[in-house]
Amino acid sequence: MANLTQIRIFLLLGATFLFLYLLGCLFDADVNVVKSIHSTYGHFGSTTRRGKCTPARNIVFIKVPKCGGSTITNIFQRYGEKHNLSFLLPRAGIPSIDASDIRDHIGDAVNLIVNHVHFYEKFMKQLMPRDTLYIGVLRNPMGYLKSYYNYAEKGITKKGVNVSLADFEENPWKYPDLKVRQNRQSSFYGALDKGATPKGIEEFILHVDSKFNLILITDHMKESIVLLGELLCWSMEDMLYVSHKVSTDGQLGEKSTTSFEHTTNMALAERNYRIYSPLDYAMFEFFNKTLWRKISAMGKSFDDKFRKFDAMLNNLQNRCRYTSESLGLSDEYIQSVIKEDSDSEDYLCHRMLLPSTQYIEYILRPKQNII
């Protein structure tokens, strides 16, 4: 009888271990599926294990100034308008969203935050739904410096002395009155707790990487937008765009970004700016590599989609850029855009050409009944 009992216990233990082993294999298989999804597309909250996806509705976009953010914001604005989504908008007459704007709306139904805003992690997590996708954008620091320096007219000090971009690049520490902020791009993602030490920079970047689903790179806009479309599970038409650097030149009234030129000694300029803004450089290089790693992981699938998207984009941009009615932001033009039927041939072009501030003032804010 004792032997029989021992045999039963042995068989029971064996069955238990077999069950645990099979369960472990199943768990590993699930983990591998998830890893495969993440390695291919990044942290795709909208993608399921069966390979199907649901179009994303809840998005935070950290729109860093002078990084092509207006072009990207227009994509989000068009989609949100089309699908009657709710935006957290800047207050009237204010270009950006601050922490108090977010805090004051905690408890409200908000789908999209896509205008100039810093990453206020605590308040955003309290306001936004759990399935919110966090998107950011960065730009090569030297290109960013030129655009920011020229747009903000940093070439004149408080003492009225003209300082060219080239002079600044060759010795940025010589001109403290210019107040060109160090690490300005990365400041939109938070503050360094431990200073700009190698370890502090590494921890900061890894924290941002853990919180964001995708960081777009302005220098590779088309590739970034294709990857973003995969993440959002949106159609190619949803992701089409007209560069707002092109659409706002001259007739649409933005300041020129070609007032000053880089120094001819770009090796010196880059070396200096790496010291001046080390976190911006580290952020850009990390997320640029991350972008291309994600693209590479998609393989031929990405190449096929990129070619198709590129062809659609070229056709549309050639048509939209020369839309005859877009002669400037006159009241007549804006009213025609507001009242235009969605079946109109130029409807998409007109929506794309409308700058973010006018999109908010004349279309999004009235639809949400926000003053």
pTM of the model: 0.81
What does the alpha-carbon distance between residue 48 and residue 244 come to, in Å, rounded to a whole number?
A: 34
Mean pLDDT of 263-276: 95
Q: pLDDT at residue 54 above 50?
A: yes
pLDDT reported for residue 254: 44
pLDDT reported for residue 44: 32
pLDDT reported for residue 11: 52
What does the alpha-carbon distance between residue 148 and residue 172 come to, in Å, rounded to a whole number?
A: 14
Span 133-176, pLDDT tens digits: 999 999 999 999 998 888 777 777 767 777 889 999 999 999 88
Q: How confident is the model at residue 79 (pLDDT cuts 50, 70, 90)?
A: very high
DSSP state of 134: E
> What's the N-to-C CA distance of the chain in angstroms?
85
Q: pLDDT at residue 119 above 90?
A: yes
Mean pLDDT of 324-351: 77
Which of 343, 353, 360 minimizes the C-alpha distance to 316?
353
Q: pLDDT at residue 35 above 70?
A: no
pLDDT reported for residue 328: 61
What does the alpha-carbon distance between residue 98 and residue 91 come to, in Å, rounded to a whole number?
A: 10
Q: Which residues of 5-29 are buried (b: 16+ CB within 10 A; e: fewer)?
A: eeeeeeeeeeeeeeeeeeeeeeeee
